[in-house]
Structure 1
Amino acid sequence: MTMITIRRQDRATAVHRFPAEWEPQSGVMLTWPHAHGDWAPVLDEAFATFAAIAAAITRYERVLIVAYDKFHEARVRTALRAAQADDMRVRIVIARSDDVFVRDHGPLTVEGDSGLILEDFAFNGWGRKYPYAHDDALTRTIYAEGALGTTPLESIDFVLEGGSVESDGAGTVLVTARCLLSPARNPKHNVADIEAVLADRLAARRILWLHHGYLAGDDTDGHIDTLARFCDPHTIAYCACPAPDDEHYEELKAMEQELKSLRTASGAPYQLVPLPWPSAKLDAAGERMPATYANFLIINGAVLVPLYDDRHDREAMGVIGTCFPGRDIIGIPSLTLIAQHGSLHCATMQLPHSILA
């Protein structure tokens, strides 16, 4: 583990805070699956999963949906009605996309001197693994259509995915070295450069680096939101593998030791909450899929938890519920998501207060 304490550099529009996910939201953004890519063979199942996500969100807040075209929009609306989503809390905007994992191509929201700022980092298909041109342009496209209101948008020539950074809302950012230091993302930047970007653009005063932890079937090079999550400024829920014969055991044990060595800004150990470990989930080719309960989504008044038709699903909901007292805990069947190498949190992006007002 490496913990870096840094000072934010001055810039024209100073950023002073990267809000935590549990703070008040105006809505959640979804990029809906379509037939123009990898989701075509499982499109019916994907529509049902996304409709369940959207319907759950509309019980608490708005949902902004990106549809591929007008024909696609009509199908999306039919699915939303079938799932009993609150139509008054749904907005659909048209833009072409390559994939659905909006956590990584959608905007990150920070607080600047004059209010909120939408930050549009570059996206390159998780290190050029997949097509990405439409996804990289998506935030700018929907912003031009007015979908994100009048909040200022800044485009940044630096590859950074939303799933790769976890914020406690008070200046601490948790990341993995495997992802942020991947040469396929920002090959011309060294560690100091990356730390400077996080300080400048996300107001990171402390960067907590994890050098261990991975999930088989994960295409992100170890996004932090698949492994360890802030639940409040003092609590981290994390993946814990109890089976020595599992391929993840050594790496996740090493990650656990790193987490135990971390300290809060006040110098206290974090309260660590191990999450249940689902049994291995295999795709049609027999390859392991990245099932993780850490990929939950926090919204106003609730937490959405990915479920995998696993005997540990109910236990996971209970454990996560202890981390978020006072919030409803809602399970979302997510096997279709992990078959495409992501899960629930990956497929969503929260938008803080006032963005969708």
Structure 2
Amino acid sequence: MSDNINKRRRFIPEFEPQDAVLLCWPHKSMDWNYILSDIEHCYEQIAKAILRFQPLVIACIEPTETLLHLQELSFPHTLRIITDIPLNDTWARDTAPLSLMEDGKPVLLDFAFNGWGLKYGWDKDNEIAASLQKHGVFAPNVVCRRKKDFVCEGGAVETDGCGTLLTTNSVQYEPNRNSKLSKHEILDVLKEEFGVEQVVSLSVDAMSGDDTDGHIDTLARFCSPDTIAYVGAPKDKSDIHFDSLVRMEQELQAMRNTKGEPYRLVKLPFVSPVYDPLRGERLPATYANFLLINGAVLLPIYDVPEDEEAIAVIKETFPDREVVAINCFTVVRQHGSLHCITMQFPKGFVQNI
């Protein structure tokens, strides 16, 4: 790949200014149905938190009582609710398009989504970018570039905005995503489509209960061009995650940016084991799944002893942002968390807000 491609495309990092955040609202037809009231309450808290700082777009199959109530409230920023959007589920991070600048123009990169490697239904979620575009969400000068011959989820990729893409082997090389491509070819596609100089792919294992196969946004996150927050190893060396997270820490310590410089690393506490009260399964609770918005960090917490430490670490890491802690235990019962259910759009991408 030529250097010209690298320079003319730039994957916009989350820590830069934003126009709005997208939420896809839970519905009785989804897997949320058995805890629908609880999850709507959680989404309402997230929506209210976002609207304190910036506009919010909510895509839904049909308006619920909670949404209608939300619409009646007064907020300092615009709330836009779009109905009649076909949805399989609500994981906007993985189904919504990704935002780039290409030759100085805003571009939405619409990869294929196939239910995290053919695990769940995806036909409707694979078309969410087109649905949002049809409803006039995006600014007229935004180009939506469809790349439906390559599977890539937003939660699987992180960028420092300076030429480095961070991801995981367990996702990128999972055989049900891009089986026709070799590992080398997959890396080449990532470099070209995101306009980066290097792709760093960690060999870390997925968190227990994470059916995405190990998205990077549950493990390690760029906080700024030179800082990465990551999940530290559990204190209990017998925990199933201990060896994997020690290995990830070592790989991050060895990681260099495109200038050959190390990153500043911030260790997040490991969430003590959390289990689903009905099914008994261990859940992939993680503090790395925070969301950066204008002037704030929305941090998922889980009503566990480590919550206070996580809040303190995030406050120290983001001194210029307000830290808003939101209990996301109900979200993680469906194997994701706060970042997984949101997608930000940078400045210049959204209209009528």
Instruction: Report the residue type matching 2:180 in the other structure.
Output: K
Instruction: Report the residue type matching 1:90 in the other structure.
Output: L
Instruction: Report the residue type matching 1:25 in the other structure.
Output: Q
In structure 2, distance between residues paired with 1:166 and 1:224: 7
Partner of 2:78: 89
Asked if 1:197 is matched to 2:208, the reply is no
Partner of 2:105: 115
Asked if 1:50 is matched to 2:43, the reply is yes
What 5-or-longer segments of structure 1 have no aligned partner?
A: 1-5
Q: Is the 8 A contact 1:55 1:80 kept in 2?
A: no
- Equivalent of 1:337, from 325, 331, 336? 331
Q: Is the 8 A contact 2:53 2:77 kept in 1?
A: no
Asked if 1:31 is matched to 2:24, the reply is yes
Instruction: Report the residue type matching 1:142 in the other structure.
Output: L
Change (3 A) 1:8 1:64: farther
Once the 2 structures are TM-superposed, how far is the Cα of residue 74 of structure 1 from its aligned partner? Answer: 5.2
In structure 2, distance between residues paired with 1:15 and 1:102: 27
* RMSD of aligned alpha carbons: 1.7
Q: Is the 8 A contact 1:302 1:328 kept in 2?
A: yes
Q: Is the 8 A contact 1:102 1:346 kept in 2?
A: yes
Asked if 1:154 is matched to 2:145, the reply is yes
Once the 2 structures are TM-superposed, how far is the Cα of residue 218 of structure 1 from its aligned partner? Answer: 0.1
Q: Is the 8 A contact 1:104 1:163 kept in 2?
A: yes
Map 1:1-357 to 2 at 5 A: 7=2, 10=5, 15-69=8-62, 72=63, 75-79=66-70, 86=75, 88-94=77-83, 95-150=85-140, 151-157=142-148, 158-240=150-232, 241-283=234-276, 284-357=278-351
In structure 2, distance between residues paired with 1:327 and 1:162: 23
Instruction: Report the residue type matching 1:296 in the other structure.
Output: F
In structure 1, distance between residues paired with 2:274 and 2:8: 41
Normalising by structure 2, what TM-score? 0.94
Q: Deviations over 1:224-272 (max 9, x none)?
A: 0000011112111111122202111111111111111111222222211
Q: Deviations over 1:146-165 (max 9, x none)?
A: 12232111111211000000
Q: Secondary structure at the match of 1:39?
A: helix
Q: Deviations over 1:190-217 (max 9, x none)?
A: 1222122212211111111101232000
Instruction: Report the residue type matching 1:149 in the other structure.
Output: A
Instruction: Report the residue type matching 1:109 in the other structure.
Output: S
Q: How many residues align?
A: 346
Identity %: 41
In structure 1, distance between residues paired with 2:254 and 2:192: 26
Change (3 A) 1:330 1:75: closer
Instruction: Report the residue type matching 1:205 in the other structure.
Output: E
Q: Secondary structure at the match of 1:229?
A: strand
In structure 2, distance between residues paired with 1:65 and 1:310: 30
Once the 2 structures are TM-superposed, how far is the Cα of residue 117 of structure 1 from its aligned partner? Answer: 0.3
Instruction: Report the residue type matching 2:181 in the other structure.
Output: H
In structure 1, distance between residues paired with 2:74 and 2:229: 30
What 5-or-longer segments of structure 2 have no aligned partner?
A: none
